[in-house]
Amino acid sequence: EPLKRFEAQLSGALVTGVDTRGKAMLTRFGNGLTIYSHNQLYGRWYLVPRGETPQVKRQLRLAIHTRRHSALLYSASEIQVLTPAQEAAHPFLSRLGPDVLDPATTPALALERLRQRRFSRRRLGALLTDQGFVAGLGNYLRCEILFLAGLAPSQRPVDCGPERLESLSRLLLELPRRSFRTGGITNDPDAARALMENGASFEQARFHLFRRAGLPCYRCGTPIERISAGGQACYVCPRCQPGRPA
């Protein structure tokens, strides 16, 4: 186990911070070392009282303990201990774009990247999940952002007028931050609350259109369609996202 050789260096070390870069987590220690972990599709953290073990059929990959609690990472396929130099040269971290949850990432920066030649002529359906463009967007955020922007996955930034592009640059940050604050809700929070009060499940209420193929658009009533974009399933409203130059 490659992590075992760092056990003596990390045992008793103080955790000084936890950062995210896209879908990677960086757990920083006072001795200068950083644990890089990427959950991929199956990794999951559990926070439990020390001495307790979650009843899960998963492989424990990493355990970080305090006197009272334990942070346990199960099933993650990528875990490494990095020095500052190794972090700077890391093949995944070094190619990431600005993180959508980083307060230093602004709509102005997102707009600047949308206008850059290397990004401006790419289809939005593929661009938005390219972690080199901005880091941290997954499929459901891609679908929801494009819906709220009124843009089809086939459109490109260069096809968009200034107002539509500025709206997209704001949504690129607003929606993931809303999702972070609300535990995964990208629908209007008041609308989601009303839906759940009327019997909808959290999964049914949390999205505008993601995983709602065949159901009516909350905005216009048109049935939501499931298409393929960028190699993944993508959900669109054909009326709200007509795909014409914007």
Q: Are residues 79 and 113 in the same domain?
A: no
In a domain, 181, yes or no: yes
The pLDDT, as a whole number, for residue 83 is 94
Q: Which domain, by its residues, includes 72?
A: 2-95
- What local confidence, expressed as pLDDT, does residue 244 receive? 60
Co-location of 114 and 38 in the same domain: no
Q: Compute CA 96 distance to the chain's CA centroid, rounded to the nearest angstrom.
A: 13
Mean pLDDT, 10 residues at a time, over the chain (246 residues)? 82 92 92 93 91 91 93 92 94 94 96 98 97 95 98 96 97 97 94 94 95 95 95 95 71
At 34 the three-state DSSP class reads strand
Q: What is the CATH number of the domain that holds 28?
A: 3.20.190.10
Residue 101 maps to a domain: no
Does some domain include residue 169? yes
For the domain that residue 205 is a member of, what is the CATH number? Answer: 1.10.8.50
Picking from 75, 95, 115, the residue at the C-terminal end of a domain is: 95
- Phi and psi at residue 211, in whole multiples of 5°? 60, 30
Predicted local confidence at residue 34, as pLDDT: 97
Say what the pLDDT of residue 60 is.
93
Pick the last residue of a domain from 95, 124, 139.
95
Q: Which stretches of the chain are assigned E, i.e. beta strand?
A: 15-21, 24-29, 34-38, 44-49, 60-65, 69-74, 78-82, 225-229, 232-236
pLDDT of residue 77: 83
* 115, 218: one domain: yes
The answer on 229 and 161 residing in a single domain is yes
The model's pTM: 0.85
Q: Is residue 102 part of a domain?
A: no
